[in-house]
Amino acid sequence: MVKQAQCLGDLDAQEFAPCSVRDEIRRNIIRILKNGETLFPGIVGYEDTVEPQLVNALLSKHDLVLLGLRGQAKTRLCRMLTALLDEYIPVVAGSALREHPFAPITKATKALIAEAGDDLSIEWLHREERYGEKLATPDVSVADLIGDIDPLKAAHKKMDLSNEEVIHYGIIPRSNRGIFTINEVPDLAPRIQVGLLNLLEEQDIQIRGFPLRLPLDVLMVFTANPEDYTNRGSIITPLKDRIASQIITHYPRTLESARQITADQSWDDRGDDLPKVRIPDFFGDIIEDIAFRGRDSEFIDQKSGVSARLSIAARELLISQVERRTLMQGGDPAVPRIVDLFQLIPAITGKVELVYEGEQEGATKVARHLIGGACRHIFDELFPRALSAEDDPSLSDDAYRPILEWFSKGQQVDIEDECPYSQYESALNAVPGLREVVLDNIKLDEEADVVLAMELVLEGLHQHSLISKLDVQQGVSYGDMLRSMLEDIGQS
């Protein structure tokens, strides 16, 4: 870092000439694009959709709003905008509004500069300190965001209430020469939204009707849910009209993108002496597909969405489940099992909002339904078509015949989530044709992955109603579908 001036006389007027936040961001974006650098490192799936729109808005020097459901990286994108600012900027020491030494905006600072001259003290503000954020709630006041008159200060200094020196500035003016984000802006009361109009249009503020003209320099960024950001929602039309760019975010559109996001954000590397849990790609796809199933489920409120945090929390729980088993069994491969997926229910039920039909089913049942649907989808992607009851018999594949015939003889496979790996492996190897189905369709380098895929085949056949599955304490039992149906009829 270049040695920084400590007083006004040492500050290079040409190098540090006043520059607006919008111009500063535009200049840095141009430099980054020319150099072929990445604008938003770590953001996956937005390269061809959200990022171009966001860059265009910033190049146009627009205030903007990011519209999207929860868990779509809106707040993360807002916070990453600070990387587009200069690393350090000079400010007048002690200035509440972080005024530029060569372009003061308040009477008090102008008087201070006139008095101190070249000896005026200078402070340096890092880019990370130039970001402000507020979650909109109904109790947020104009004083919180913009400011209010401080009668005690007025009485102490014996000043008129219209004097700008008796104003206690809110969080937005204190973000002058920076970026300020308001999350979930429709939750602001309408009268508070009105208070933002002048800030967006004229770049000044009004406090209790006093004519206060401060040319604030703040890039305003908003986030909102699309359902709230409509003419029927709770955002006032004049404020909506003043936000120059509206950018729609979205959930990951491919399992690969979703898996990368989850792997980047989840706590995988735990830094202790336990064996590192290895999650095969196809198993990672199952975790991601749980969220994908949720975004299409009739039991889940699609207006609320299914956050990417579901997959992150689920992956972390899965790793902990494998760690717990390896601690109990000692020496077992640190690899998950399909039966472990049902330990992820707490990560699912806490991340979805159910509609009436979902409430009738129950959160746990809906979560199990999502897990089963994800297993079926990944099974269908990896293995030959399985004949379901509603299918044309001519479409059947003989690959599963040895497996189904074995179960039809009354055999069953019992799998517990805490059983030793040797017992788990033996139970699956006992099924004729099961290993062959895996080896003929997937290339896997690790034996533990082959055994895991064998379990997925059984789960996939169950999801196609070709074999039965009974949930038992700490595990499952796969058996013959017809025999299971006859037993149910006998019990009834």
Could you tell me the pLDDT band of residue 210, with boundaries at 50, 70 and 90?
low
Q: How many helices (H) and strands (E) does the chain have?
A: 20, 12
Q: Kindly tell me if the per-residue pLDDT of 392 is higher than 80.
A: no
Structural element, H or E, at residue 67: strand 64-67
Whole-number pLDDT of residue 404:
93
Instruction: Provide the percentage of residues in the chain whose pLDDT is more than 90.
Output: 72
Could you tell me the pLDDT band of residue 391, with boundaries at 50, 70 and 90?
low
Angle at 421 between CA 258 and CA 318, to 5 degrees: 25
Q: Is 5 helix (H, G, I), strand (E, B) or coil?
A: coil
Could you tell me the pLDDT band of residue 407, with boundaries at 50, 70 and 90?
very high
Whole-number pLDDT of residue 2:
46
Instruction: Provide the percentage of residues in the chain whose pLDDT is more than 70.
Output: 89
Averaged confidence pLDDT in the chain: 89
Distances (CA, A) of 259 to 266, 293, 303, 316, 398: 10, 15, 23, 13, 33
pLDDT average, residue stretch 279-308: 95
Q: Kindly tell me if the per-residue pLDDT of 150 is higher than 90.
A: no
401: region left, alpha or beta (phi > 0 left; psi from -120 to 50 alpha) = alpha
pLDDT average, residue stretch 143-172: 75
Q: Which residue has the higher pLDDT, 295 or 395?
A: 295
Q: Kindly tell me if the per-residue pLDDT of 155 is higher than 70.
A: no
Q: Contact 463/400 with Cβ under 8 angstroms?
A: no
- Chain segment 86-136, per-residue pLDDT in tens: 999 999 999 999 999 999 998 889 999 999 999 999 999 999 999 999 999
Whole-number pLDDT of residue 451:
97
Strands lying side by side in the sheet with 245-248: 131-135, 178-183, 218-224, 64-67, 245-248
Longest dimension (CA), the chain: 98
Q: Contact 57/246 with Cβ under 8 angstroms?
A: no
- Chain segment 112-124, per-residue pLDDT in tens: 999 999 999 999 9
The listed CATH number (3.40.50.10090, 3.40.50.2000, 3.40.50.300, 3.60.20.10) that belongs to domain 8-248: 3.40.50.300
Q: Where in the chain is the domain with CATH 3.40.50.300?
A: 8-248
pLDDT average, residue stretch 54-76: 96
- Chain segment 223-264, per-residue pLDDT in tens: 999 887 765 458 888 999 999 999 999 999 999 999 999 999
pLDDT average, residue stretch 199-204: 73
Angle at 102 between CA 100 and CA 107, to 5 degrees: 75
Whole-number pLDDT of residue 162:
61
What radius of gyration, in Å, describes the C-alpha atoms of the chain?
30
- Spatial CA neighbour of 140 closest among 93, 195, 88, 99: 195
Residue 460 CA, distance from chain mean position? 30
